[in-house]
Structure 1
Amino acid sequence: MIQPFDRKAKRIKRHLAIRRRIHGTHDVPRLSVFVSDKHAYAQIIDDDSAKTLVSASTLQKSLREALKNKTWNKAAARLVGKEIGARAIEAGIKEVVFDRSGFRYHGRIKEIADGARESGLKF
């Protein structure tokens, strides 16, 4: 029997393969990103204590107003990256490991990473 093409299942499989290699610590936490059709999300996670230290997304009222509700484009993703970077620096986080969550490093994922780098985060 031929298996149907399941894009989400393949992304999750890639994500699990990535997570086997990447682990965030207290000193160097993990920057995990996710993009849906309409929104972009980023969070910095300490995997040792299983806690989210900092997060940002296009669902937040301040970012939505700045974007005039256009939350699905590259400009929105870059703004999320800048916001997560600024919040991380404010929380005393200077270096992270990047977790692309099984997505290709292209488009909105790349814009989030570039925005975080602009804010001063090191990968």
Structure 2
Amino acid sequence: MRLSKTQRKYRIRRRIRKVSSGTAARPRLSVFRSNSEIYAQLIDDVNGTTLASASSRDKGIAGTKGSKSEMAAIVGKSVAEKALKAGLEKVAFDRGGNLYHGRVKSLAEGAREAGLKF
């Protein structure tokens, strides 16, 4: 029997999480994409804490006009700025089972432009 789209996504997410883990020096940049919004978190898996986060629902970002991909790039820049303020330059990218395409790719490119290294 064929897997549904969500089952396939969760299978990929589990496979990625087996390999990818964040530390305090190199946190995991986790991306969650809903139908209308996008969220990014820098996570230290060793201590189980979120070091920085940004989303398209944040006050400074929610009022801007643009496509979903443009909003994702702004979220990527925002989370990168917060990471650099916290003294973090390198991250492990976790696309959360989504394809590296569209909004997820825009977020990653926005974070790279702002100074994060994957």
Q: Which TM class, normalised by the smaller chain length?
A: over 0.9
Match of 1:97 among 89, 92, 96: 92
Partner in structure 2 of residue 81 of structure 1: 76
Percent of residue pairs bearing the same amino acid type: 42
TM-score (structure 1 length as normaliser): 0.91
Q: Secondary structure at the match of 2:30?
A: strand
Distance 1:26 1:17 in 2: 22
Displacement of 1:61: 1.7
Which stretches of structure 1, 4 residues or longer, exceed 4 Å deviation after superposition?
none
C-alpha deviation, 1:113, in angstroms: 0.4
Q: Which of structures 1 and 2 has the bigger CA Rg?
A: 1
Residue by residue, what CA displacement relative to the aligned partner does 1:40-66 show, whole Å, maximum 9, x if unpaired?
10000000000000000011121011x
Per the alignment, residue 57 of structure 2 pairs with 59
User: In the comparison of the two structures, how many residue pairs are matched?
Assistant: 118
Which residue does the alignment assign to 2:9? 11
Gaps of 5+ in 1: none
